[in-house]
Amino acid sequence: MEPVILKPLLHRNQECLGFFFKKNVQIEKAVRKVPDVKWSKTHVCWYAPLSETAYLNALKHLKDKAVIDNSPLKVYLQTKKKVTATLPEPQKNKVAARSAATRPLAFTPAWQLSPANLAELESFVQKLQLKAYSPSTVTTYRNEFIQLLKLLKEKPVYCLSVDDLKRYMTYVLVTERLSESTAHSRLNALKFYFEQVLGREKFFWEIPRPKKVQKLPKVISEEKILEGLLNVPNLKHRTLLLLAYSAGLRVSEAVSLRVCDINSDRMQITINHAKGKKDRVVTLSRGLLPVLRDYYIKYKPAVWLFEGTGNDHYHTRSAQQVFKEAYKKLGLPPQCSFHSLRHSYATHLLENGTDISYIQKLLGHNDIKTTLRYTQISKKDIGQIESPLDKLLRNKLL
């Protein structure tokens, strides 16, 4: 009997099972009986969506007509399993859920890594975890590292030289038009691999970094902040936005607050394991206290102040959607987001006379330079400067 090779392939944004065989009328008739099977001109083969059902149907219809070679499929599925295992648990669960439903294209090229590069990916993630990097950082570095591994195919990543990496970074910046911020993230991931995993000291000194775009924070006026909050009918949503603005919280910090983090005796909020794994204490607004008490009486949160589904806290994406709904009718610039509440908090403090060093501590910034950005957009000093046009017009009218 003639062989039929079952191979994974990517077709029209789907992960598919390809049937590859020499021209044979009997085999072709059997393959066409597999449910959902179609012909691909691109891959010159018959294919079906990759699933256990499709595989079992293939065995059923071909068992007496051909010899089935599923070794390429086995290698692919084993690699896929190992690559997925390098994700932190929260992301791993999301990928599993999405794979069952939609089988996204985005992860598939990484499931075809060579054995050598797969081993390096596993070592890379293990080193990040041993150094106790946060799950979000592990995910970011992992995904950036995989972009290089996918291009290398069979070439081991540990064989790359400084010149190879310079050419690679030129390629992603010029050809792929990678943004400056993503390029920095990619370089950080590669730097970690070559210096921390392989132990190549000062390996990246010769590779220049692209200059970052210095974007100013997007700030909402005090009037618009209040107008947006007054239009939120849902008590939970209103409390979330009020709390975030009143204490200058990041969205991740706001949703992951616990009930025990609110200390009304000392009028303080404790932020645990914030960015950079730093704890800090911020002021609890006296104006917010009655709202928090009403919220607690109505919702009776047990552990998380803002509870989500199951035993988890409210999701960051849900919080961002709450912000969009509250402020979408106020004509804010499209770049404004939940994080704009934090920028607005810092700017308004500065305009109201708060010392910049105190604002730095409240925001949890390591470097005062990060906080000094708000002086560039504050109306406290710049707002007092008169445009020469105003003087000319005033003199003309006089």
Residues 364 and 231 both lie in one domain: yes
Q: Which among 308, 333, 343, 303 has a CA at the least distance from the CA of 322?
A: 308
Q: What is the tally of structural domains in the chain?
A: 3
Q: Which of 25, 55, 74 is the last residue of a domain?
A: 74
- Tell me which residue range forms the domain holding 266: 222-376
Tens of pLDDT, residues 117-132: 999 999 999 999 999 8
Whether 385 shows a pLDDT value over 70: the answer reads: no
Catalytic site includes residue 177? no
Contact status, residue 246 vs residue 287, Cβ threshold 8 Å: yes
User: How sure is the predictor about 284, in pLDDT bands with cuts at 50, 70 and 90?
Assistant: very high
Structure tokens at 267: 């009028």
How much is the average pLDDT of 40-49? 93
Q: Which among 39, 74, 41 has a CA at the least distance from the CA of 55?
A: 74
Q: What is the β-pairing status of strands 45-49 and 14-20?
A: antiparallel
DSSP letter (8 states) at residue 338: T
In a domain, 253, yes or no: yes
Residues 137 and 248 both lie in one domain: no
Amino acid identity at 91: Q
Catalytic site includes residue 358? no
In a domain, 255, yes or no: yes
In DSSP terms, which residues pair with 16 in a beta bridge? 9, 49
With vertex at residue 58, the alpha carbon angle to CA 55 and CA 60, rounded to the nearest 5 degrees, is: 110
In a domain, 386, yes or no: no
CA–CA gap between residue 231 and residue 325 (Å, rounded): 10
Provide the CATH number for the domain around residue 65. Answer: 3.40.1170
Provide the CATH number for the domain around residue 137. Answer: 1.10.150.130
One of 61, 342, 343, 348 is an active-site residue; which one?
Answer: 342
Catalytic site includes residue 158? no
How much is the average pLDDT of 272-277? 82
Catalytic site includes residue 250? yes
One of 133, 327, 345, 374 is an active-site residue; which one?
Answer: 374
Contact status, residue 143 vs residue 95, Cβ threshold 8 Å: no
One of 186, 250, 343, 348 is an active-site residue; which one?
Answer: 250
Residues 67 and 119 both lie in one domain: no
In a domain, 243, yes or no: yes
Residues of the chain above pLDDT 70, percent: 90
Contact status, residue 224 vs residue 330, Cβ threshold 8 Å: yes
Residues 372 and 228 both lie in one domain: yes
| Non-local CB neighbours of 50 within 8 Å, separated by 6+ positions | 8, 14, 15, 16, 17, 103
Residues 255 and 167 both lie in one domain: no
Residues 34 and 177 both lie in one domain: no
One of 80, 142, 348, 365 is an active-site residue; which one?
Answer: 365
Residues 310 and 369 both lie in one domain: yes
Whether 209 shows a pLDDT value over 90: the answer reads: no
Sign of CA dihedral 211, 212, 213, 216: negative
- pLDDT at site 94: 57
Q: Which among 350, 348, 341 has a CA at the least distance from the CA of 368?
A: 350
Residues 241 and 181 both lie in one domain: no
One of 184, 218, 339, 373 is an active-site residue; which one?
Answer: 339
Residue bearing the bigger pLDDT, 79 or 240:
240
In a domain, 102, yes or no: no
User: How sure is the predictor about 109, in pLDDT bands with cuts at 50, 70 and 90?
Assistant: low
Tens of pLDDT, residues 298-314: 999 999 999 998 889 99
In a domain, 191, yes or no: yes
Structure tokens at 292: 């928090």
Catalytic site includes residue 342? yes
Phi-psi map region of 342: left, alpha, beta (phi>0 left; psi -120 to 50 alpha): alpha
In a domain, 90, yes or no: no
- Least-confidence region, from 112-121, 195-204, 359-368: 195-204
One of 150, 275, 280, 373 is an active-site residue; which one?
Answer: 275
How much is the average pLDDT of 105-123? 74
Residues 250 and 120 both lie in one domain: no
Concatenated DSSP letters of 11-60: ETTEEEEEEE--S-HHHHHHHHTSTT-EEETTTTEEEEE-SHHHHHHHHH
- Least-confidence region, from 31-40, 83-92, 210-219, 223-232: 83-92
In a domain, 285, yes or no: yes
Q: What is the CA radius of gyration of the chain?
A: 28
Catalytic site includes residue 339? yes
User: How sure is the predictor about 46, in pLDDT bands with cuts at 50, 70 and 90?
Assistant: very high
Structure tokens at 1: 């009997």
CA–CA gap between residue 292 and residue 305 (Å, rounded): 10
With vertex at residue 87, the alpha carbon angle to CA 81 and CA 92, rounded to the nearest 5 degrees, is: 75
User: How sure is the predictor about 263, in pLDDT bands with cuts at 50, 70 and 90?
Assistant: very high
With vertex at residue 94, the alpha carbon angle to CA 135 and CA 322, rounded to the nearest 5 degrees, is: 85
Distance of CA 236 to the CA centre of its chain: 25
Whether 95 shows a pLDDT value over 60: the answer reads: no
| Non-local CB neighbours of 110 within 8 Å, separated by 6+ positions | 83, 146, 149, 150
Q: 219 to each of 35, 326, 333, how far by Cα in Å?
A: 56, 16, 10
